[in-house]
Amino acid sequence: MRHAFWCGLPPSSSQIRGALESTTDIQYRPLGNLRERLTLEHVADCMARVVADDGVVGIYQGAAETGPRALGHRSILANPCNPDTLQTINRRVKYREPIRPLAPMMTLAAARRFFRMSPGAADDDFNAYSYMVLAAQALSEALEEIPAVVHKDGTSRLQIVREEHDPLMYAYLKAMGRRLGVEVSVNTSLNVGSPIVQTPEQALGALKKAQALSGLVMVADDGDAWFVWRVPAECPAAFAAEFSDELPGQTALADDTAGVGHSFFVAH
């Protein structure tokens, strides 16, 4: 990022593993290392598949955001095309007032397609819209195709995602384009009745509180990643189907005592 909207240090693999092992009522599995391009693209497409089917996915990666926004490091992602997404997030994920709006993240191409951005902010490919601090007027196509992220006054507070700033979120948005025809996603902060989560333990706490949160993708500073969901609730079908096989770049962990390979774990 060109400006100071991140703070602190990203979580390490040992910190995330420690939180996973000490948290009850969750199930989790390793996804491989997102520094491997094929793994990153696969995980991004899995996230988009779930969201396109009206699931809700949390993302926990990198240093935390500062200020009143989520920028893809401590975010909840959902379907921008379904007008019911607003009610789902406010009533069954964040438990907040129904009038609270949702903001979008998108590629630059999508921003130009759906919004009238200010000419005064056009420098460096509209870089000023990369931080969710400016609102833009929605065009008619946005009202029709991504109603969940257009406010009552016809504006949206945008975050344009650049591949060089966030490869995972950019790949996810490109996958959303392939699946829904829009390189756009709902992006709201990962928190439930509290400030934006900072630690792995807080992220898992939000997952356990949010009834409609399908699962959580957690990424360490070395690129290792995990998918986590609550028990006794079953893993959503889309997650189970996509994550049931070994991903590119992933080595299944073996249980030497049983002689059986496992790629998921349960915390009790």
Domain at 230, CATH number? 3.90.870.20
In a domain, 211, yes or no: yes
CA 155 vs. chain centroid, Å, equals 22
| pLDDT by position in tens, the chain (length 268) | 555 577 778 999 999 999 999 999 999 988 889 999 999 999 999 999 999 999 999 999 999 987 768 999 999 999 999 999 999 999 999 999 988 999 999 999 999 999 999 999 999 999 999 999 999 999 999 999 999 999 999 999 999 999 999 999 999 999 999 999 999 999 999 999 999 999 999 999 999 999 999 999 999 999 999 999 998 777 766 666 554 444 444 433 333 333 333 344 555 4
What pLDDT is stored for residue 252 in this prediction? 37
What pLDDT is stored for residue 160 in this prediction? 98
In a domain, 149, yes or no: yes
Domains in the chain: how many in total?
1
What pLDDT is stored for residue 40 in this prediction? 96
Mapping DSSP onto H, E and C, the string for the chain reads: CCCCCEECCCCCHHHHHHHHHHCCCEEEEEEEECCCHHHHHHHHHHHHHHHHCCCCEEEECCCEECCCCCCCCEEEEECCCCCCHHHHHHHHCCCCCCCCCCCEEECHHHHHHHEECCHHHCHHHHHHHHCCCCEEEECHHHHHHCHHHCCCCCEEECEECCCCCCHHHHHHHHHHHHHHCCCEEEEEECCCCCCCCCCHHHHHHHHHHCCCCCEEEEECCCCEEEEEEECCCCCCHHHHHHHCCCCCCCCCEEECCCCEEECCEEEC
Question: Position 64: which residue type?
Answer: A
Domain containing residue 28 = 8-244
What pLDDT is stored for residue 3 in this prediction? 54
In a domain, 254, yes or no: no
In a domain, 130, yes or no: yes
In a domain, 144, yes or no: yes
What pLDDT is stored for residue 223 in this prediction? 98
What pLDDT is stored for residue 236 in this prediction? 64
Distance CA 211, CA 56 (A): 10
